[in-house]
Each structure stands twice: as structure tokens, then as C-alpha cells.
Amino acid sequence: MTTRALILGCAGRTLSSQEAAFFSDVAPWGFILFKRNIGTPDEVRALTDALRATVGRADAPILIDQEGGRVQRLGPPHWPAYPAGGRFGRLDGSAAAIAHLGARLMAHDLASVGINVDCAPVLDVPVVGAHDVIGDRAYGTSPATVAEIGRAVAEGLMAGGVLPVMKHIPGHGRAGCDSHKGLPVVEADLATLTAQDFAPFRALADLPLAMSAHVVFTALDPENPATQSALVIDRVIRTAIGFDGLLMTDDLSMEALQGSFRARTEACFAAGVDVGLHCNGDMDEMRGVAEGAPVLAGDSLRRALAALARLPAEAGAFDVREARARFEAALSLAA
């Protein structure tokens, strides 16, 4: 089966016959789950099994946004609540170790229901006056802190058999609006962007996956958001940052992007992204996205295979109960 360079969502907790047929025909590289898809652990596991069955690949990536705080798709009563990333940035010298442990616990939660990719760590560096769409999702306000804790989170996830996705490359921290609702335009000069916004991504450029920012950087390309800018992808993401992993778009249904779904998808691939991401499960939108997305091939296929190769055959021994007690005690002491 030929794989399409797409990651798609579905509408509910089970697949409709229409969705199953569509996914079987389109053969996306992977899938993404949201709160609307989450029931009991058994229901989530059944859904991830069903999604993989439509494309006939047992290792098909299934993604989720599980950062902690306000961005957490698995939560009570079936899964524990985790703190927002900003909580770790306020800890003392143990911040990275505690963040690593929390990510390892998250990986256990995700892997147990068939989810093998987490859209974390958030490597954006917020600045005063920026929109709070990032806010406490950020690990701190200095590039060094964000990079250190981001590295710990990525390694904790991978230790538990879950691939990390660093986001939102090359940086969303300066955005003055929420890219879900409009197109942010950042007017900082290139020297400032390089020293502040790009730095955490450069420090973690060896990670296997990254998600693009729907943000215009006027110092680089005043016309196009990074997701649709060949200048930003080639000169910044691939060259200055040095990222040669799989680059996926942020959600193609966000209002920062304009035009038909086919047109906006084609613009992303023309700019150099590897995989398109569409999240809301709307069948009409997905059809347009599928029309604009190519087969996964060439360097994009190489990067996709290299990412999946980073998944361990099995996670190492891990005492979940002891680790959770240790994580909660560390947060309590820090508070």
C-alpha cells in the first residue's frame, strides 16, 4: 500500500464505516487523537487498533497532544493530571530530573493504549506582551531553560517507547495572536530570533520529529507563515537550526492558513514540509487535504523511517507505582 504524507484525525471514539473506508483508500502515514476521541483505556486501545488496521501497519504513528496542564487529552478519571510545562521551569536544580520522570510516566500512559507519538516538548520561548496561547505551556522564559527541560521531556518520552515532537519550530513564543484564530506576524530582527527563538530548537535538532509554526517572520519572509515558507524551512529550519528530522505542519485547519484545503496543503508541501497534519476529523476538509498531499517518498520517506527507527523494541523495566509516588513527592516538595 502506498503511504500518503498525512496525519489525520477522526470524529469520535469509534471509527465510522465511512472513515474506515476513507483511511484505507488514502493510507495516511499516521493519525492524531483529541479529547473527543478519548473514552476508557479499553476504548482508546480499541480505537488505536482500528486506526492501524485501516492502513495495515502495526507501527503506524498515532499522535496526541499530551503536554500537561491545559493541553492534556488523556486525563482524570482514567489517567492522572500532569502539571503544565511552566511548573518545571519554576523548580530548582532538580527541574530536568522531575520533568524527565513526568514524561516517562506520560509515555507509560500513552503506550499502554497504543499511542506512540506525543506532540511535546514545547520549545517556544515566550516574551512579555505575547499572546498567552503558549503561556504556561513553555518551560521557561530563557532559551537555556527551555532547551534543558525540553531535552529531559524528550528523553523521558523515548525511554517509555513514545516519540517526541518538538514544537512549534522555529518558534511561536513571540506570536501576538493565537494561530488557531488568526495569523501571527512577528517583526523581531533576525539576530534576536536566532539568539532567542531558534536556540532551543537548535539545541535539540537531533530529535526525530518537529511541528512547524503558523507564524510570519518578517525578517525572513514577510509574505508567508513558516509552514508555507521555503525560505524559512530551507534557510532556518534545515540550515541554521540544522534539523533533518521529519517536519510536520501544525494543524492545516487553523485559521492562520488561508485558501481551500487542497491549496493550503499544496503550499505547505511546495515549501518543503514532509507531512501534513489535519486534526478535526471533518471529512470534507480531509478530502481536500488528501487531494493536495503527495505520496510519502524521497527524503520525506527517509526521515519518516528514521523517526520510527528511534522507537525502542520495548521499554525498559519501570515500576510505575513507585515512579508516580516519587514524581508527586518531588512536585509537593518543590511547591
Tell me the domain boundaries of the chain: 4-334
How many other C-beta atoms are found inside a 10 Å radius of the C-beta of residue 108?
18
Q: What percent of the chain has pLDDT over 90?
A: 90
Residue 334 pLDDT more than 70?
A: no
Compute the distance between CA of residue 118 and CA of residue 274 in angstroms, rounded to an integer: 18
Are the CB atoms for 267 and 252 separated by under 8 Å?
no
Look at residue 143 in the predicted model and tell me its pLDDT.
Answer: 97
The residue from 109, 118, 250, 251 that is catalytic is 250
Residue 37 pLDDT more than 70?
A: yes
Average model confidence (pLDDT) across the chain = 95
Which among 297, 286, 203 is positioned nearest to 251, based on CA atoms?
Answer: 286
Would residue 168 show up in a list of annotated catalytic residues for this protein? no
Look at residue 186 in the predicted model and tell me its pLDDT.
Answer: 95
With b for 16 or more beta-carbon neighbours within 10 A and e for fewer, the 141-151 pattern comes to eebebbbbbbb
Tens digits of residue pLDDT in 231-287 = 999 999 999 999 999 999 999 999 999 999 999 999 999 999 999 999 999 999 999
Q: What percent of the chain has pLDDT over 70?
A: 99
Compute the distance between CA of residue 171 and CA of residue 173 in angstroms, rounded to an integer: 6
Tens digits of residue pLDDT in 155-206 = 999 999 999 999 999 999 999 888 888 899 999 999 999 999 999 999 999 9
Residue 243, C-alpha cell as written in the block: 534539523
Would residue 178 show up in a list of annotated catalytic residues for this protein? no
Residue 221, C-alpha cell as written in the block: 519572509
Pick the CATH number of 4-334 from 3.30.300.20, 3.30.450.40, 3.40.50.1820, 3.20.20.300: 3.20.20.300
pTM score? 0.96
The residue from 25, 49, 59, 180 that is catalytic is 180
Identity at 142, one-letter amino acid code: S
CA 312 remoteness from chain centre: 19
